[in-house]
């Protein structure tokens, strides 16, 4: 069985963990890392030595944001959207320190930091590696952990959260593989939600 994290990235993970204990970013990061590996497998031209360290460190900057403001930084009705940029800027500083401490072989530190610097605020991708990170980050939102986390942030139900993701996040996916992955999570979640009705034979057409 292949473990989620590449052994090369374990030292980075150990240093990043203390910055990821907010907003379920620790689990989010592990899930997004796994999704990034899957996306790279569908895009052999992508460089996992850039994509995987970038996704592993992309959200460390949220640790520097006031916890009371975290829920106000994202979502359709965000009142402090500027904090998204703050977490990118601070994340680059933290990620640079971690990468320079370990100097992992074969990793293009400059490219990793450039991806982290714009992973949320710039919607287009400057490279395939950038697209892999952006799509893996967004695709997490469609996973069971992502849906449950986002529903809790906004006090919404699962069905409403899935509708919101389909309407507002799906159009921003950058790759066919990313869209297919996100669509698969949506249809699986809806089928599971409706299974009881179909099994009872009470679902209205």
pLDDT(193) > 60: yes
pLDDT(205) > 60: no
Contact status, residue 122 vs residue 104, Cβ threshold 8 Å: no
Q: 28 is in which domain, residue-wise?
A: 7-200
Residue 2 lies in a domain: no
What does the chain come to in residues?
205
pLDDT at 59: 98
Residue 127 lies in a domain: yes
pLDDT(78) > 80: no
Give the whole-number percent of the chain exceeding pLDDT 90. 82
Contact status, residue 164 vs residue 76, Cβ threshold 8 Å: yes
- pLDDT tens by residue, 64-77: 999 888 878 887 67
Residue 1 lies in a domain: no
Residue 205 DSSP symbol? -
Residue 205 lies in a domain: no
pTM of the predicted model, to two decimals?
A: 0.94
CATH of residue 127: 1.10.3210.10
Residue 192 lies in a domain: yes
Name the residue with tokens 């921003």.
Answer: 172
Residue 173 lies in a domain: yes
- Specify the number of domains making up the chain: 1
CA dist 112 and 130 (Å) reads 9
Residue 168 DSSP symbol? I
Contact status, residue 156 vs residue 165, Cβ threshold 8 Å: no
CA dist 179 and 138 (Å) reads 10
Residues 6+ apart with CB under 8 A from 155: none
> Smallest Cα–Cα separation from 54: which of 104, 126, 109?
109
| Token code pair at residue 78 | 């965000």
pLDDT(202) > 80: no
Residue 138 DSSP symbol? H
């Amino acid at each position: 069985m292949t473990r989620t994290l590449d052994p090369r990235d374990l030292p980075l993970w150990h240093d990043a963990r203390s910055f990821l204990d907010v907003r379920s970013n620790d689990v989010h990061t592990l899930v997004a890392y796994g999704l990034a590996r899957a996306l790279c497998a569908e895009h052999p031209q992508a460089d996992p030595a850039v994509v995987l360290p970038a996704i592993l460190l992309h959200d460390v900057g949220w640790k520097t944001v006031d916890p009371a403001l975290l829920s106000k930084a994202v979502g359709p009705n965000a009142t402090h959207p500027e904090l998204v940029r703050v977490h990118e800027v601070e994340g680059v500083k933290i990620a640079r320190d971690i990468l320079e401490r370990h100097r992992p072989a074969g990793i293009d530190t400059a490219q990793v930091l450039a991806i982290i610097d714009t992973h949320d605020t710039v919607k287009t991708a400057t490279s395939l590696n950038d697209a892999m990170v952006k799509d893996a980050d967004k695709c997490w939102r469609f996973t069971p952990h992502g849906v449950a986390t986002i529903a809790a942030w906004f006090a919404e139900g699962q069905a409403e959260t899935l509708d919101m993701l389909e309407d507002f996040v799906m159009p921003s996916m950058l790759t066919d593989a990313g869209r297919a992955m996100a669509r698969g999570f949506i249809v699986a979640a809806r089928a599971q939600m409706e299974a009881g009705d179909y099994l009872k034979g009470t679902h209205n057409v």
